[in-house]
Amino acid sequence: MKNYGGHILAVNTSVQDLSAIYRDQFTVFNHVTYMNTCSQGALADRVRASFDTYLQTLELKGSAWGDWAGHQENVRGLLAKFFNVASAEIAVTTSASAAVSSLASSFDYTQKRNKIVTTENEFPTIGQIWHAQERRGAKVVHVASKPDLTVDVAAVINAIDDETLIVSVTMVCFRNGAMTELEPIIEAAHKKGALVLVDAYQGTGAVPIDLSTLKTDFLVSGNLKYMLGAPGVGFMFARESTTKHLVPINTGWFAARDIFAMDIHAYDPATDARRFEAGTPAIPALYPAAAGLEIMLEVGMQNIYDYVAPLHDELRAGIEAMGGTVVTPSSRLNHGAMLAVASTDENAHVAALEGEKVVTSCRDGNIRVSPHFYNNREDVEKVLAAFAKHKSFLRK
Ligand SMILES: Cc1ncc(COP(=O)(O)O)c(C=O)c1O
């Protein structure tokens, strides 16, 4: 058993068949073989019902601000429980981008420490937000990835110096599924006095993350993928002990110490992570975010990880057996739930698979296949059969 990046990556051999328990709560499987959680989680009946609850509140009460403020706090509390930290360390935002923009606005890039060390595996929004800070004096350094597409941890560590303000690193790459070894990077950054932001959007809900042991200063993600929610809710963990000195310039009244003070003559932000929030929360998306989180907590993150790992391995073995190339690193320490298959024509390939009622997605020349706890071996077989039928798209 290895504690790696704050998550326990030992795979349990006596795995519970989670799909047998939960799959019938996901109606989409009556229609298609859904293996596209890296893009959007499948809709659970309970998540669907939560949208109805939102609409019913409007129908019954007209407006329901009282309920709604409580909903933001409910999601904050569930996220805190999910990551094993205090609610005060969670900002609930409208996207991961909104959280990172707010964070980026809290730095003074005219100081000597103005360097942002990042990687080639980042999601576009991360690179774009950091490069936007160049106009304010920031210097952005991208560290090249290794030939196996993983982040070059040694090279990242090498790039961190006394001028490094923050190291911004992805946990699981959205293009190829490569997972980064985070702990040595965090340790090296802290030794040099730099902060760390982890973009864990492709990791949260797929790989266990305990933020009481993974010592990153910030972690950003959102609820719509493996966490089963809907677009409109992102979040950021901000470790109180290392980040409370940072006060964002990008702000709004929901980030104020007292939201209902209605003061237009001063900026008095919350002192906890809520200071990274902004305006009216995306209320309709908070309902499904909470419902999805409740399911995730019920199923259990370690159970999900243990259950999905063999499905991932079987998909990989099947693709390779038919002559395809899986570009996702094979070591369990270096990938999340998603595997990426090299394709000669990614869009046509996705469409061909969809014609077989197999739903996947593509990025950067690869087909992304992303099993979750509601998928089963039959799904794996259907996915592989569809890939076999359209073998001509497989890039060697
Ligand atoms: C790794 C990663 N980061 C960030 C994002 C985007 O986040 P948002 O649209 O909430 O800003 C995504 C969405 O696909 C992602 O996969």
Q: Is residue 393 lining ligand 1, measured as CB closer than 6 Å?
A: no
Ligand 1: centre distance to CA 124 (Å) = 8
Q: Is residue 205 lining ligand 1, measured as CB closer than 6 Å?
A: no
Assess whether 161 and 207 both reside in one domain: yes
Ligand 1 atom 12: the closest Cα is on which residue?
201
CA angle 383, 387, 392 (to 5 degrees): 170
The residue count of the chain comes to 396
How far apart, in whole angstroms, are the C-alpha atoms of residue 71 and residue 254? Answer: 13
The pLDDT of residue 13 is 57
The pLDDT of residue 12 is 57
SS3 338: coil
- Ligand 1, from 37, 121, 123: best to mutate by most atoms within 8 Å of Cβ? 123
What is the residue-averaged pLDDT of the chain?
Answer: 95
Q: Is residue 123 lining ligand 1, measured as CB closer than 6 Å?
A: yes
Assess whether 195 and 221 both reside in one domain: yes
Q: Name the residue range of residue 87's domain.
A: 48-296
Assess whether 384 and 312 both reside in one domain: yes
Assess whether 184 and 277 both reside in one domain: yes
- Ligand 1, from 126, 174, 361: best to mutate by most atoms within 8 Å of Cβ? 174
Instruction: Examine the fold and report which residue of 249, 274, 296 is the final residue of a domain before the chain moves on.
Output: 296
Instruction: Examine the fold and report which residue of 270, 296, 322 is the final residue of a domain before the chain moves on.
Output: 296
What is the Cα gyration radius of the chain? 21
Are 223 and 230 in contact, with CB atoms under 8 Å apart?
yes
Give per-residue pLDDT as tens, 336-348.
999 999 999 999 9
The pLDDT of residue 65 is 79
How far apart, in whole angstroms, are the C-alpha atoms of residue 230 and residue 224? Answer: 4
**115-119, strands of its sheet edge to edge:** 90-93, 234-238, 218-222, 195-199, 164-170, 115-119, 139-143
Tokens found for residue 226: 């493996």
Helices 377-389, 346-355: axis angle to 10 degrees equals: 120
Q: Which helix (H) or strand (E) holds 143?
A: strand 139-143
Assess whether 281 and 364 both reside in one domain: no
Assess whether 136 and 87 both reside in one domain: yes
CA angle 188, 189, 190 (to 5 degrees): 90
Assess whether 148 and 236 both reside in one domain: yes
Q: Is residue 343 lining ligand 1, measured as CB closer than 6 Å?
A: no
Of 40, 11, 35, 1, residue with least CA distance to 304: 11
Q: Which helix (H) or strand (E) holds 368?
A: strand 366-369
Atom of ligand 1 lying closest to residue 39 CA: 14
How far apart, in whole angstroms, are the C-alpha atoms of residue 164 and residue 116? Answer: 6
Assess whether 254 and 312 both reside in one domain: no
Of 165, 180, 124, residue with least CA distance to 335: 180
Instruction: Examine the fold and report which residue of 269, 296, 323 is the final residue of a domain before the chain moves on.
Output: 296
The pLDDT of residue 11 is 52
Assess whether 146 and 83 both reside in one domain: yes
Ligand 1 atom 15: the closest Cα is on which residue?
201
What's the CATH code of the domain at 337? Answer: 3.90.1150.10
The pLDDT of residue 266 is 95
CA angle 338, 339, 344 (to 5 degrees): 135
Assess whether 24 and 81 both reside in one domain: no
Name the stretches of the chain with pLDDT < 50.
1-9
Number of domains in the chain: 2
- Ligand 1, from 201, 225, 335: best to mutate by most atoms within 8 Å of Cβ? 201
